Structures are given as C-alpha cells and as structure tokens.
C-alpha cells in the first residue's frame, strides 16, 4: 500500500459502492462475477453482517448506503437512536424481510425523498411530460454493489461484497488490522480494488458504464475537531510551537474549501429537485401571447437541421478519408467504424 494512500484526506473509508448501468436484457443475477470468491474463512460473521435483498427498484442507492451505515464498526461513529432501534429490529430478519423493512421504514423513506428527484407536475391545461409507455425502461437505472470491512474474532478485517440481488454476503478477502484501531485501516480498500478490476475485465466487452463511491467520515467535523484541539493546546501551554500557525492556516483553508463544496452540492441538489414545469409552461404561454413562439420554434428547427447536416457532412468526410469505395462495389459506401468508451 503506497504511503500517500494511507494519509489520503478521505480516510477512513467505511464502505465502497460500485454502481453500473443496468441493461434491460441483463439477467437478474447481475454482472458476471470475476470468480466465485475465496472460501469464507469466517462463516460465523454472517450473523453479524446486515444484509438485505432488494425488494423494490426505486431505492437501490438508498439501500446500498443504508447497508454500509448499518455495518460500520467504529468507535468514532455512533448511530442515532432511530437508526440504532431499526438495526436492532432487523438484525434477526432474513434478507428478503430486511429489504422489506428498509422499504417500509419512515426514517429511511424520508431521507430518500429529501434528495430524490421529484417528477415534473402536470400543468393545469394538460401540458407536461408524456406518460411512460407500457414496458418502457428508465434510461437511468443503475444497480449497486457494496463492499464493507468486518472485524473478525482474530482482529483482522474480512471484506465482504454485498449485492442485494444475491442470496448472501460474499467473502472476498481480508487484511491485518490493529485491535486498538478505532476506524478501519485504509488497506482493506486494496482487496476491493482487486475485485473491482476483476469486474471490469470480465465485462470489458459489455462496455458497462460504472462509477465507484466511498462512504467516508465527515471531513468538516474532523477538521473542526483538529482545529479545536490545536487551539486548546496552545491556550493550555501558553506558547505556540513551530508549525502551529501554518497548521492552523491549513485547517482553515480546508474548512473554507469544504464549506464551498458543500454549498455547491446544496445548490445542485436544489436545482435537481426543483419542478421547473410550471415556469416553462408559463414562459411558452407568454411567448405565444407576444407572437414570438412560432418564430423561435422555426429557428430551432432550422438550427437542428443545420446541425444534422453538418454532422452528416463531417461523418461522410471521415469515411472518405479512411477508406475509399472500391470500383465495382455498386456505389455502396466503404465500411468504416470505430468505437470509444469512457
């Protein structure tokens, strides 16, 4: 493990989420596994792991995060009373019933709805988004897999893969850990990295679109605590040590950057959740009343035609530059192709 990773500002990491674009033709079991995983050397831990099956499709992200939160083993983080009561209630349920309990939990549902994108409201005169067609699949459907570290009786950290579409947690490896550690050491992430590379390699031809996310400590709270400890020590000792001023300035810069980033997230979430449909409908009505709507629509259509024409011309030029149509080929375009995935 490279030393810089151990001191990474997002450390400690309590769980990792792997989400990928779900395809309509995909089997229920999800992506092909890189391998079945090593033999579980700690079957007794299965009783201590919170694991729930996915019983609805509309809250997969919320279930993934809930799964990580309820499996955090740390002396520095504690669940609030409501989540602690929920964890105590579901710990003896089987995975399908645990998934149903997540679906029916008021506190989890409220948290989910607080950040969920609201569907546009239909206008009074019937304008609005078209209703979904029968069998139509949302293009933004993702499946979530999580990885969590679980402490073993011997003091090591066993890493488990939790896929809500599977029947049980999957043991994928373990790392050494100090019994006195208050948070999981960053080294457990290397086990996940190997597993993630396996997923990507096995499914390379499918060109899956994926992203990885980490559940980490609240950096603002952590840096505020560090700043308070620094100032308390200086006040107690009555003297400033070399480097104290620089460290205080660094912490202040970090807090300013985190506050700015949090403000950006808050604004982005508000824009994403806002219902713009009434505003758009009223704008169209106003333009129509002024006699400007038809001209704007015609201009937009002309721009669309011009853009399509330019794209077709560029594509034709690209094909002509790569290969010329051989004589006697009946006038068909020469074959040229390519793909990119990012």
Mean pLDDT of 188-195: 89
Instruction: State yes or no: pLDDT of 247 exceeds 70.
Output: yes
SS3 135: coil
pLDDT value of position 335 = 35
More reliable by pLDDT, 27 or 66 = 66
Of the candidates 316, 37, 50, which has an alpha carbon nearest to the alpha carbon of residue 174?
Answer: 37
Instruction: Return the H-helix or E-strand segment holding 148.
Output: strand 142-151
Rounded CA gap, 56 and 54, in Å?
Answer: 6
Instruction: Return the H-helix or E-strand segment holding 3.
Output: helix 3-6
What confidence category does residue 268 fall into, taking pLDDT thresholds of 50, 70 and 90?
Answer: confident
Mean pLDDT of 158-175: 89
Class of domain 8-125+137-216: alpha beta
What confidence category does residue 333 fall into, taking pLDDT thresholds of 50, 70 and 90?
Answer: very low
Tokens of 179: 């019994």
What confidence category does residue 50 fall into, taking pLDDT thresholds of 50, 70 and 90?
Answer: very high
Mean pLDDT of 143-165: 89
Rounded CA gap, 34 and 338, in Å?
Answer: 27
- For residue 256, give every residue at least 6 positions away whose Cβ sits within 8 Å of its Cβ, in sequence order, or none: none
Of the given ranges (90-94, 198-202, 261-265, 314-318), which has the lowest mean pLDDT?
Answer: 198-202
Q: Alpha helix (H) ranges present in 150-291? A: 188-202, 219-237, 244-273, 277-289
- For residue 55, give every residue at least 6 positions away whose Cβ sits within 8 Å of its Cβ, in sequence order, or none: 96, 99, 100, 103
DSSP letter string, 12-64: SEEEEEEEEE--TT--TT-SPPSS-----S-GGGGGTS-------STTHHHHH
Instruction: State yes or no: pLDDT of 308 exceeds 50.
Output: yes
pLDDT, tens digit (0-9, with 9 covering 90-100), for 14-46:
999 998 877 655 544 455 566 666 777 778 888
More reliable by pLDDT, 162 or 181 = 162
Mean pLDDT of 240-262: 91
More reliable by pLDDT, 25 or 81 = 81
Instruction: State yes or no: pLDDT of 98 exceeds 80.
Output: yes
pLDDT value of position 298 = 93
CB 189 within 8 A of CB 212: no
Rounded CA gap, 206 and 261, in Å?
Answer: 35
Bridge partners of residue 162, in order along the sequence: 146
What confidence category does residue 4 fall into, taking pLDDT thresholds of 50, 70 and 90?
Answer: very low
What confidence category does residue 136 fall into, taking pLDDT thresholds of 50, 70 and 90?
Answer: low
pLDDT value of position 31 = 58
Rounded CA gap, 159 and 173, in Å?
Answer: 5
pLDDT value of position 331 = 40
Rounded CA gap, 168 and 94, in Å?
Answer: 10
Considering the entire predicted model, what is its pTM? 0.69
Dihedral angle computed from the Cα positions of residues 293, 299, 300 and 304, in that order, rounded to the nearest 10 degrees: 160
- For residue 109, give every residue at least 6 positions away whose Cβ sits within 8 Å of its Cβ, in sequence order, or none: 103
Mean pLDDT of 237-250: 90
Tokens of 205: 């031809």
């Amino acid at each position: 493990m490279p030393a810089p990773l151990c001191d990474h500002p997002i450390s400690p990491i309590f769980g990792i989420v792997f989400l990928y674009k779900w395809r309509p033709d995909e089997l229920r079991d999800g992506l092909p596994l890189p391998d079945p995983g090593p033999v579980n050397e700690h079957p007794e831990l299965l009783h201590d792991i919170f694991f729930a099956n996915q019983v609805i499709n509309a809250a997969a992200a919320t279930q993934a995060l809930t799964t990580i939160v309820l499996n955090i083993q740390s002396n520095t983080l504690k669940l609030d009373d409501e989540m602690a009561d929920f964890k105590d209630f579901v710990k003896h349920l089987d995975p399908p019933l645990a998934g149903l309990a997540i679906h029916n939990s008021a506190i989890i549902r409220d948290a989910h709805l607080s950040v969920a994108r609201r569907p546009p409201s239909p206008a009074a005169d019937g304008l609005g988004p078209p209703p979904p067609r029968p069998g139509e699949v949302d293009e933004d459907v993702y499946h979530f897999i999580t990885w969590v570290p679980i402490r073993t009786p011997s003091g090591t950290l066993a890493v488990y893969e939790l896929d809500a579409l599977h029947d049980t947690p999957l043991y994928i490896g373990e790392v050494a850990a100090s019994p006195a550690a208050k948070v999981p050491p960053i080294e457990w992430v290397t086990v996940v990295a190997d597993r993630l590379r396996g997923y990507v390699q096995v499914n390379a031809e499918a060109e899956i679109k994926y992203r990885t996310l980490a559940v980490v400590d609240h950096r603002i709270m952590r840096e505020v605590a560090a700043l308070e400890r620094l100032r308390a020590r200086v006040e107690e000792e009555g003297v400033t040590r070399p480097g104290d001023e620089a460290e205080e300035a660094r912490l202040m810069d970090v807090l300013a950057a985190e506050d700015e980033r949090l403000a950006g997230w808050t604004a982005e979430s508000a824009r994403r959740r806002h219902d713009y449909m009434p505003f758009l409908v009223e704008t169209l009505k106003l333009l129509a009343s002024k006699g400007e709507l038809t001209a704007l629509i015609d201009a937009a259509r002309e721009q669309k035609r011009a853009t399509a024409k330019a794209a077709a011309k560029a594509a034709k030029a690209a094909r002509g530059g790569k290969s010329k149509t051989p004589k006697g080929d009946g006038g068909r375009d020469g074959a040229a192709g390519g793909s990119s995935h990012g």
